[in-house]
Amino acid sequence: MPGKISAEPWWEHVKTPCFVVDEAGLIHNLEILKGVMDRTGCKILLAQKAFSMFYAYPLIRQYLCGTTASGLYEARLGQEYFGKETHVYCPAYRPSEFDDILACADDIVFNSPSQVEKFGAKAKAAGKSIGLRLNPLCSTQEGHAIYDPCAPGSRLGTTLENFNPKVMTMLDGLHFHTLCEQDSDALEQTVEAVETQFGPWLSMVKWINLGGGHHITRPGYDIPRLERIITHLKNTYNVEVYLEPGEAVVLNAGYLVSSVLEIMENDMHLAILDTSAACHMPDVLEMPYRPPVMDSGKAKEKPYTYRLGGPTCLAGDVIGDYSFDRPLVEGRRIVFEDMALYTMVKTNTFNGMPLPDILWRDKEGKITVVKSFGYEDFKGRLS
Ligand SMILES: *Cc1c(COP(=O)(O)O)cnc(C)c1O
């Protein structure tokens, strides 16, 4: 109705389940990242692995220098929808796809001297900038071995023992990625390890890429220390410095909105939602972690505690125990926060689960359905 302002919040009006990416939240992060670039002269790329909503690329490209990819498809997406610089790193390239990689990427990072020997000359002949990923064997994270590239037996990156100085003549850059949701003290420790082990080679390259895992946009992150590290590397080795965060670009900039389908009892209150941890937020089970839910508390903190679970037949498809001020009822919206990162890129249709629609909430609060999914998206991946 013209002129009528709805008293209801926006999440009451969307069809669930859906991801809603928030422009204001994204801009907040992009301004912080741009500040780091402006003050240090470093270059920041979007790691598409965490967030590939290409609808947002025209906005992100106003701030960041390009994208990085984990292989051909992401590189192609970056080139087609983002432009600027397209970087790619893959633990091992397929010979059959390497020409296509050369057609979309500007900077190609190899995982081992052997990969450089296999593909490096071809990449150089095509005018590409090439780098080698190092593994400084410096674990700075506890608990998440699945996210620690420096864990024993890791295949990610070249250790000093396996480093072959002969390939240095071909390389334009060196790369390392060892962090996950970490502050700049962990980066400082890692850079020290890299300098101790690979110091003599750092001034032989044009760029050093510090990977991702920098939680730069988290409140309390020590940005001045990050900037000192970048400036130190630039000044000491006369290199360009790249960072390629994924998570930090979209931290707290998205939601997964779901509805309660059913309430049950079994020793405790259970709520079945129209969203699934296994299908829509697999990191909740893989990492594992407890996603924030709007207006909720920990179990027993508020008067009504429920175990929130998905509508699949997987017994472990449980998001967690949360408490609320009022009893949950069928149709009530449950809004998961910080759901832009590592969600849309990881969804699946196990159990024939529908994929959540993808919505955009602009800075004025206007909501657009960017993409909706249906039966064909489930069937299309099968035969
Ligand atoms: C995962 C990854 C990133 C991005 O990591 P975030 O934790 O999302 O910042 C960057 N570079 C490489 C090589 C990665 O594997």
**Are residues 219 and 275 located together in one domain of the fold?**
no
**Are residues 235 and 136 located together in one domain of the fold?**
yes
Question: What range does the domain containing 113 cover?
Answer: 41-250
- Read off the pLDDT of residues 6-58 as tens digits, 9 standing for 90 and up: 678 999 999 999 999 999 999 999 999 999 999 999 999 999 999 999 999 99
* CATH (domain of 315): 2.40.37.10
Q: Of 250, 267, 285, which closes a domain?
A: 250
**Ligand 1 mutation pick, 177, 250, 289, 342, max ligand atoms within 8 A of CB:** 177
Pocket of ligand 1 (CB under 6 A): 47, 49-50, 68, 89, 177, 180, 211-213, 244-248
Tell me, yes or no, whether 180 lies in a domain.
yes
Q: Of 197, 228, 250, which closes a domain?
A: 250
**Are residues 195 and 289 located together in one domain of the fold?**
no
**Ligand 1 mutation pick, 49, 89, 156, max ligand atoms within 8 A of CB:** 49
Tell me, yes or no, whether 297 lies in a domain.
yes
Of ligand 1's atoms, which has the minimum distance to the CA of residue 109? 13
**Are residues 242 and 271 located together in one domain of the fold?**
no
**Are residues 156 and 117 located together in one domain of the fold?**
yes
Q: What percent of the chain has pLDDT above 90?
A: 96
* CATH (domain of 104): 3.20.20.10
**Are residues 243 and 272 located together in one domain of the fold?**
no
User: Under a CB-based contact definition with an 8 Å cutoff, are residues 163 and 109 in contact?
Assistant: no
Of ligand 1's atoms, which has the minimum distance to the CA of residue 244? 10
* Band of residue 1 on the pLDDT scale cut at 50, 70, 90: very low
Binding-site residue numbers are 247, 283
Spell out the long-range contacts of 106-114 with Cβ–Cβ below 8 A and sequence spacing 24 or more. Answer: 106/66, 107/131, 107/172, 107/173, 109/133, 109/173, 109/175, 109/209, 111/155, 111/156, 111/157, 111/158, 112/158, 112/162, 113/158, 113/162, 113/163, 113/164, 113/166, 113/167
**Are residues 57 and 183 located together in one domain of the fold?**
yes
- Read off the pLDDT of residues 75-114 as tens digits, 9 standing for 90 and up: 999 999 999 999 999 999 999 999 999 999 999 999 999 9
**Are residues 189 and 100 located together in one domain of the fold?**
yes
Query: Ligand 1 centre and the CA of 174: distance in Å?
Result: 15
What is the count of structural domains for the chain?
Answer: 2
Q: Of 228, 250, 272, which closes a domain?
A: 250
**Are residues 230 and 100 located together in one domain of the fold?**
yes
**Are residues 67 and 188 located together in one domain of the fold?**
yes
**Are residues 243 and 335 located together in one domain of the fold?**
no
pTM of the model: 0.96
